[in-house]
Amino acid sequence: MVYDQLARPVYGVIRRVVRDPAQSEEVAQEVLLEVWRSASRFDPDMGGAATWVLTIAHRRAIDRVRSAAAAAAREHRVAETPEPRDEVAEAVEASLDRERVQRCLGGLTEVQRESITLAYYGGYTYRQVAALLGVTLAAIKTRIRDGLIRMRDCLGVS
C-alpha cells in the first residue's frame, strides 16, 4: 500500500529525530497535511515525489527539535544518543532497503558515518556535529559531503 510506503518512512524519520511518540505523530500529521495542501505545486523536476515528501518530513521534524521549547529536552537527549551504528540497526523491521543503507553506511569511515547519522537522525547542525565529534568545521563539512557521495555511489542513486 502506498500509504504504508510513504507513511512508514515519514513517521519513522520523524520519530527518529523527535523521539517522543505523541509529538512525532503531531509532526507527521502536519507533514501529511502539507503534502495534501501543496500537492498541486509539487514540481517533479525537483526530484522524486518520495524525496519531496520525506524532505518535508525531515525538515518539520528538525524544526520541532530545534525550536526553543524543545531545547531542554534535547540537552537531556545528547547523553542518551546511541551509537550511530545502532541507530540504524535498532530499526524495527528488517528490509532490503534497510540492509542496503546499513551496508553502505558500513562502508564509510567512522567519522563520516557518525557525522551523517548525527546530522540526519539526530537533527544536529554541522556545527553541533563538529562540536560533538571534536573536529573542525571545515573537516565536518568535508566528511559529511564525502560520506554522502560515497553513500550515493554505493546506493546507486543516479
Partner 1 sequence: MLRVNPFWHDLHILTGAYALDALEDASEQERFARHLRRCGACAAEARGLREVSTALAFAAAQEPPPGMRERALELAERTRQLPPELSKRHRKRSRLAWPQLPWLHGPWLQGLVTVTAAVAIAAAVVFGIGQSDTRQQLNQARSQQAAIAAVLAAPDVRTVTGPTSLGGRTTAVVSAELRELVVSTSGLPVLTSGRVYQLWLIGPAPAAATAVRSAGLLPAATSGLTAPYFASGLVSGDKLGITVEPAGGAKQPTTTPIVLLPI
- The footprint of partner 1 on residues 36-95 (CB under 8 A) is 36-42, 44, 46-55, 57-59, 62, 88, 91-93, 95
Q: Which is nearer to partner 1, 43 or 80 (CB)?
A: 43
Shortest distance in whole angstroms from residue 66 CB to partner 1: 9
Q: Which is nearer to partner 1, 75 or 93 (CB)?
A: 93
Instruction: Give the DSSP letter of residue 15.
Output: H
Q: Is residue 119 a contact residue for partner 1 (CB under 8 A)?
A: yes
Q: Is residue 108 a contact residue for partner 1 (CB under 8 A)?
A: no
Q: Is residue 109 a contact residue for partner 1 (CB under 8 A)?
A: no
Task: Give the number of other Cβ atoms within 10 Å of residue 60's Cβ.
Answer: 21
Distance of CA 94 to the CA centre of its chain: 18
Q: Vertex 103, ends 97 and 109: CA angle to 5°?
A: 135
Shortest distance in whole angstroms from residue 122 CB to partner 1: 9
Nearest 10 degrees: Cα torsion 55, 60, 61, 62: 90
